[in-house]
Amino acid sequence: MINRYSKFLLVAVLSSVLLKTTYSGDIDKTSCVPGFDQEFKLLHSSESINPCEKFTDRPLLIVNTASHCGYTPQFETLEKVHQMYSDKGLAVIGVPSNDFNQESSTEAKTAEVCRINYGVTFTMLSPQKVKGENAHPVFRYLARESKEPLWNFTKYLVSKERKVTHRFGSHIKPDSKEITDAIETLL
């Protein structure tokens, strides 16, 4: 026979178990780009970040980059966009890739192009695959939601709710009215 105390204890234990299994922590996993909820090594660094934690509730401009491409000077305008909008909430994330055979052979050389040649201060991750079956999960998600990169410097604008709102081709400059208008609608 179960007495009052035993019933109370049973309810307390069950409630505790249910709360532990349904509580998801401080980060709302639904507001994370699939594939981003993991540690990423920063470019030519021993440090890493989890973009879902670092950029919670911020729109993202994710760009696949390359150090030796005709569009490489876009690093300068990506930095300009970063400077214009980071205080308003936008996070610019560069992801180097050699999928189009135009990336430096080492992370040190890639970092030199970004930081020394173009003054990049926005987040640059270590090189990743960005197209095809072996693409990083982030880029598989971006491709599924829009289209995979056809070339270097494809730009994906992702809302706070982690929906891909725009995909801009390589030829569209990061500080173009088309991109800045789209950014401003998300801020």
Q: Is the dihedral of CA 97, 80, 90, 42 positive or negative?
A: positive
d(CA 172, CA 8): 64
C-alpha distances (whole Å) from 2 to each of 6, 17, 60 are 6, 20, 56
Selected catalytic residue, list 32, 52, 69, 114? 69
Whether the CB-CB separation of 61 and 91 falls below 8 Å is answered with yes
* Residue from 81, 75, 70 nearest 118 by CA: 75
User: What six digits make up the tokens of 170?
Assistant: 């390589």
Q: Is 69 a catalytic residue?
A: yes
Provide the annotated active-site residues.
Answer: 69
